[in-house]
Amino acid sequence: MKGKTIVVKLGTSVLTGGTRCLDRAHMVELVRQCASLHRAGHHIIVVTSAAIAAGREHLGFPELANTMANKQMLAAVGQTQLIQTWQSLFNLYGVHVGQILLTRADLEDRERYLNARDTLRALLDHRIIPVINENDAVATNEIKVGDNDNLSARAAILADADLLVLLTDQKGLFTADPRNDPKAQLIEEVQTIDDTLRKLAGGSIGGLGTGGMATKLQAADVARRAGIDVVIATGQVPEVIGRLANGDRIGTRFPALATPLESRKRWILAGPPPHGEIHIDAGAVKAVREQGSSLLPKGIVRIEGRFRRGEAVRIVNPEGRELARGICRYDALELNQIKGQHSEQIETLLGYGHGTVAIHRDDLVLL
């Protein structure tokens, strides 16, 4: 069997068993499964949560004010404890690990994104298991990815992964909240992520982590658009990681889309957050969605937010739904001057031009 690249995201609830402490007995079992796949020739990447939980445990659960500085302090302490734990456990199986700490800023900038990708691939090429976490010790709300579900999706894109496994305290996505509805049924496969499905996503149970089922849906949607299969499953199933790598039907599977995005569009989806919105008319929707056209100024109705040339924006249809995401060739002030106008009028209106399109189709990702 050809080796796969598999990203395994381990949530705080999985690593603590719902308690206040790291469940090291369960962690060593997860490590054993990863090491087994590693020996079989697969490339394994671990995205780990629980740095703040590990910090609280190491410091004896101090009573602290809920401030950013205290969270960063706990993360700084916990991150060292967490990586030492992973290192010691993988050492039992003769496997080396390497730590990568990321913030959203590392993914927004194209050059830093490529550097992170090169580091990740170098570790994999040398048969070292990357252990990835958000750099909570320095990240502020402005530069945080925000949750490790979405971070794991971006890590999967960086690694050009085949499979993203999101392990949690739930068996998967259900037709209703299984904690409240005994008739709730597991959804074994999801082909389309829509508003109805998003309403089924509940929150995090224990308050130990930042991700609930909603963030897992976001992560699954991002990863599958990049050609990556995604599974949400419980971390308590015996041999869960190996069985999922072999294609066993466990949890909720999100098959990869048939036509994955090319490299630059993967970065647009995974890296820069949108800084504003471009609202377009029905004609522009048809041209962009059905004809694969670039977005022209003529089809723009309204601009929201302040963004610079080269920043990512949402493209919104007349019903208010996000249709696409793209990198703008003009800033918000410039677009406000040329919206609704023909492309040949751009230089007359602005006194200069950056091309005839607002967003080129090569810089646009349909959602």
Q: Which helix (H) or strand (E) is 272 found in, with range?
A: none
For residue 315, what are the CA distances in angstroms to 26, 150, 296, 361? 44, 21, 12, 12
357, containing H or E segment: none
CA angle 30, 36, 42 (to 5 degrees): 105
- Determine whether the annotation assigns residue 214 to a binding site: yes
Known binding residue 216? Answer is yes
Tell whether 210 is in a known binding site: yes
Stated as kind and residue range, the H or E segment containing 201 is none
* 169 annotated ligand-binding residue: yes
- The closest of 88, 3, 98, 5 to 44, measured between CA atoms, is 5
212 in a labelled binding site:
yes
Q: What is the dihedral of CA 237, 239, 243, 245, to 10 degrees?
A: 110
Q: 168: annotated binding-site residue?
A: yes
Strand order in the sheet with 322-327: 300-304, 277-280, 312-316, 322-327, 364-366
Residue 49 marked as a ligand binder: yes
Read off the tokens for 104: 């959203």
SS3 content of the chain, % helix, strand, coil (to 5): 40, 20, 40
| Residues contributing to the annotated binding site for ATP | 9, 168-169, 210-216
Binding residue ranges: 9, 49, 136, 148, 168-169, 210-216
Residues in the annotated binding site for substrate: 49, 136, 148
